[in-house]
Amino acid sequence: MIGFELSDDQKALQETARKFARNEMWPKAPHHDKTSEFPHEIMKKAFEAGLMNLSIPQDLGGPGFAILDQCIITEEIAYGCVGMGTSMMANDLALTPIILAGTPEQKQRFVKPFAEKLKYASFGLTEPGHGSDAAGMETRIEKKGDHYLLNGSKCWITNGGVADQLTVFCTIDRKLGPKGICAIVVDKNMPGVSVGKHEDKMGQRASETVVLNFEDVKIPFDRLLGKEGEGFKIAMQTLDRTRPLVAISGVGVARAALEHAVKYSKERKQFGQPISGFQGIQFMLADMAADVEASRLLTWESAWMIDAGKPASMYSSFAKRVSTDTAMKVTTDAVQVFGGYGYVKEYPVEKLMRDAKLLQIYEGTNQIQRVVIARELLKQF
Amino acid sequence: MKILCTVKRVTDPEVKLKIGADQKSIATDNLKYVLNPFDEIAVEEAIRLRDKHQGEVIVVSVGPSDVSTQLRTALAMGADRAIQIVHAGELDSDGVARLLQKVYEQEKPDVVLMGKLSVDNDSWQAGPLLAEYLGLPQATYASKNDSLESDNEKNKVPGITIEGTTATVVREADGGIETLKVQLPAVITTDLRLNIPRYPSLPNIMKAKKKEIKEHTPQSLGVDVTPKVRVLKFELPPARKAGVKVADSAELLAKLRSEAKVIS
């Protein structure tokens, strides 16, 4: 059986998230886009409304939402402002490795406090020289007596400046490639941790993106997740779980752009009639709407597969690739529907177009998604 | 303290309404429903009063079986339990007030909080009618002296003050603000500037599932809800006319005087 009806709970979650996006995020989004100011107030309200830390399990004080439920909530958040959404989701990305691979003691220590009070955690995988080739990373740990010493730097770290805690991936022996990678939990106040430059981004400017530097940071052994060498697997398992959320963010952005385009096309008159009367505009709107729906369903399917415990790498890559490409196309077309007005900051759609671009790049570029898909596909026949 | 708080589901104000083919109803296909915004304020106030004085908040609604969705929202905001009077047919304010009268008699609350109006029918009747049928004092359009930006609002301090069996209610009147003292039990209806309702938090939405919703019907309460108000016809408001540009303030004043007749 296939059913697409949301449960009453899911509808209630969606309604709260939608209301929050409309009333709290949407009106403030232009300000944070312009100034790149971190949305502290909104994050505080989002935490109180339970819109953050969606993946913290119930036994650690969180809501323990299934990935599908998280998708339903995240679409609304991204509709409100995907830049703020990226910062709201960063905790889940950083805490998932601990939830997946931490000991019960580590979960109590490194996850539970995030359910109790607003704190930020960041996920550090990418380095200046290693993006898609994550396994080639250079940030390293070495054993020194009763601790590790961490050295190196990580870039594109969401919430890195405001973060209290960092989940960092590093190598213990570069010759081992992916098998030498370790996942560790770093307290940002540890001596030797410093925040480098804040990136001045094209879009998603409400989210904070920084460089983090580590210089002889002493890491006690009890901050290692799993065993030495399991870090790459932990990172990949984490990204498998969070990929549908990036995909659904694309759906949220695209839906916002579509709504603006439809409304504007009915207001804007040329040649004596609203431009929504022209087939050229109608075809664009129709394609935008169909792409949004298709992207959502593909994303829901991938989320459902993860929740059902099925192998979902290929499907979550389908979802990420299709939905975020949709976001780029739909936002670009929305700008086209707005014409010259779409290109200026007085109107809301150029922001959406700038925001969408990042979705095609982060958490695995869409080219890497295609690599994952092709690899799985070629195994099948 | 026992607080009874009424909630009504209304059509989502963001959705464009269509008039039904019979012209006497609103077309209900694809309609979305939300909690009446004024009732949301009443629920918020009830929760704040409960948190300050202890006790419980009971929310009650009348409507088709899926009104449970709006009751769950109120429970997720923090109400303790709910009563649902299942009735799918037509209903006017008088019927609602008579049903609520029965609920009041069963529950014997210390105070009844209601939205001053529901944004769909805009009748403003149910609160005053209920107070009348129960022979209770009433204070309508409860507001407060603090602004919605104040620290008291941020700290979720109730705008209605209750001391012993007296409630002090600040209400918006035509010329300004009026302060009333009413003897409890009483019916109090809430205005827009009383508070900013909280979001039902996502964990509380999940927890609200476990809270009780007790069902009644007009029959089980022994109330005849045959409407006394008959709807003859619904019409859409006329389309707004384009504005006019005036050259200067003198012309504006002249037009306000002679055409709009809003000043003399």
CATH code for the domain in which residue A40 is found: 1.10.540.10
Q: Are residues A255 and A372 in the same domain?
A: yes
Q: Are residues A186 and A249 in the same domain?
A: no
Nearest to B203 among A8, A19, A50 (CB): A50
Instruction: Evaluate whether residue A3 is within a structural domain.
Output: no
Lowest mean pLDDT among A127-131, A229-233, B72-76: A127-131
Collect all residues of chain A within an 8 Å Cβ-Cβ radius of residue B199: 16, 19-20, 45, 48-49
**Mean pLDDT calculated for residue range A155-163:** 97
* pLDDT(A38) > 70: yes
Collect all residues of chain A within an 8 Å Cβ-Cβ radius of residue B67: none
* Nearest-neighbour CA in chain B from A281: distance (Å): 23
Nearest CA in chain B to A11: B69
CA A226 to CA A370: how far, in whole Å? Answer: 29
Instruction: Evaluate whether residue A2 is within a structural domain.
Output: no
> Under a CB-based contact definition with an 8 Å cutoff, are residues B148 and B196 in contact?
yes
Q: Are residues A246 and A362 in the same domain?
A: yes
Question: Can you give the C-alpha Rg of chain A in angstroms?
Answer: 21
CA B231 to CA B225: how far, in whole Å? Answer: 15
Q: Are residues A256 and A211 in the same domain?
A: no
The domain tally of chain A equals 3
Instruction: Evaluate whether residue A99 is within a structural domain.
Output: yes
User: For testing the chain B interface, which of A16, A25, A47, A262 should be mutated: the one with the most B CBs within 10 Å?
Assistant: A16
Give chain B's largest Cα–Cα span: 66
Q: Are residues A276 and A331 in the same domain?
A: yes
Cβ of A16 and B69 within 8 Å? no
Give the contacts of B21 (CB within 8 A, at least 6 positions apart): B27
**Mean pLDDT calculated for residue range A68-95:** 97
Question: Can you give the C-alpha Rg of chain B in angstroms?
Answer: 20
Domain hosting residue A96, numbered range? 8-116
The b-or-e profile of B79-113 (16+ CB within 10 A means b, else e) is bbebbbbbbeeebbbbbbbbbbbbbbeeeebbbbb
* Nearest-neighbour CA in chain A from B197: distance (Å): 12
| pLDDT by 10-residue block (mean), chain B, 264 residues | 96 85 83 92 97 97 92 95 94 96 97 95 93 96 92 93 96 89 97 94 90 95 94 88 89 90 83
Cβ of B200 and A12 within 8 Å? yes
Is omega for the bond preceding A113 within 30 degrees of 0, making it cis? Answer: no
Q: Does A48 touch chain B (CB under 8 A)?
A: yes
Collect all residues of chain A within an 8 Å Cβ-Cβ radius of residue B209: 9
Instruction: Evaluate whether residue A288 is within a structural domain.
Output: yes
* Nearest-neighbour CA in chain A from B79: distance (Å): 16
Instruction: Evaluate whether residue A334 is within a structural domain.
Output: yes
Q: Are residues A240 and A170 in the same domain?
A: no
Q: How would you class A27 by CB atoms within 10 Å of its CB: exposed for 0-12, middle for 13-18, buried for 19 or more?
A: exposed
> Under a CB-based contact definition with an 8 Å cutoff, are residues B131 and B113 in contact?
no
User: What pLDDT, on a 0 to 100 scale, did the predictor assign at position B20?
Assistant: 87
Q: Tell me the Ramachandran region of residue B122: left when phi exceeds 0, alpha when psi lies from -120 to 50, beta otherwise.
A: left
Please give the share of chain A, as a percent, with pLDDT higher than 70. Answer: 100
Annotated active-site residue A363? The verdict is yes
Q: Are residues A336 and A257 in the same domain?
A: yes
Instruction: Evaluate whether residue A137 is within a structural domain.
Output: yes
Banded pLDDT at A1 (limits 50, 70, 90):
low
Q: Are residues A249 and A359 in the same domain?
A: yes
How is residue B238 written in tokens? 């006329």
Nearest to B202 among A11, A45, A51 (CB): A51
Banded pLDDT at A3 (limits 50, 70, 90):
confident
Give the residue from B74, B12, B84 showing the smallest Cα distance to B42.
B74
Task: Determine phi and psi for B136, rounding to 5 degrees.
Answer: -105, 155
How is residue A2 written in tokens? 């296939």
User: What pLDDT, on a 0 to 100 scale, did the predictor assign at position B24?
Assistant: 84
CA B113 to CA B93: how far, in whole Å? Answer: 16
Nearest 10 degrees: CA dihedral of A187, A188, A194, A195?
A: 140
Cβ of A63 and B199 within 8 Å? no
User: What pLDDT, on a 0 to 100 scale, did the predictor assign at position A190?
Assistant: 97
Give the contacts of A288 (CB within 8 A, at least 6 positions apart): A254, A257, A258, A261, A329, A330, A333, A334
* Nearest-neighbour CA in chain B from A154: distance (Å): 33
User: What pLDDT, on a 0 to 100 scale, did the predictor assign at position B12?
Assistant: 87
Superfamily of domain B2-237: HUPs (3.40.50.620)
How is residue A192 written in tokens? 């030797």
User: What pLDDT, on a 0 to 100 scale, did the predictor assign at position A205?
Assistant: 97
pLDDT in tens, A268-318: 999 999 999 999 999 999 999 999 999 999 999 999 999 999 999 999 999
> Under a CB-based contact definition with an 8 Å cutoff, are residues B19 and B29 in contact?
no
Instruction: Decide which of A228, A249, A270 is a domain's last residue.
Output: A228
Q: Does A15 touch chain B (CB under 8 A)?
A: yes
Q: Does A49 touch chain B (CB under 8 A)?
A: yes
How is residue A217 written in tokens? 């940071």
User: What pLDDT, on a 0 to 100 scale, did the predictor assign at position B13?
Assistant: 81
ipTM for the assembly: 0.78
Instruction: Decide which of A116, A144, A163 is a domain's last residue.
Output: A116
Q: Are residues A45 and A26 in the same domain?
A: yes
Q: Are residues A324 and A287 in the same domain?
A: yes
Supply the CATH number for residue A312's domain. Answer: 1.20.140.10
CA A106 to CA B94: how far, in whole Å? Answer: 60
CA B141 to CA B160: how far, in whole Å? Answer: 11
Interface of B to A at Cβ within 8 Å reads 34, 68-69, 72-73, 76, 198-206, 209
Nearest CA in chain B to A61: B203
**How are beta strands B111-115 and B186-190 bridged, if at all?**
parallel
CA B75 to CA B82: how far, in whole Å? Answer: 7
Instruction: Decide which of A95, A116, A137 is a domain's last residue.
Output: A116
Q: Are residues A223 and A269 in the same domain?
A: no
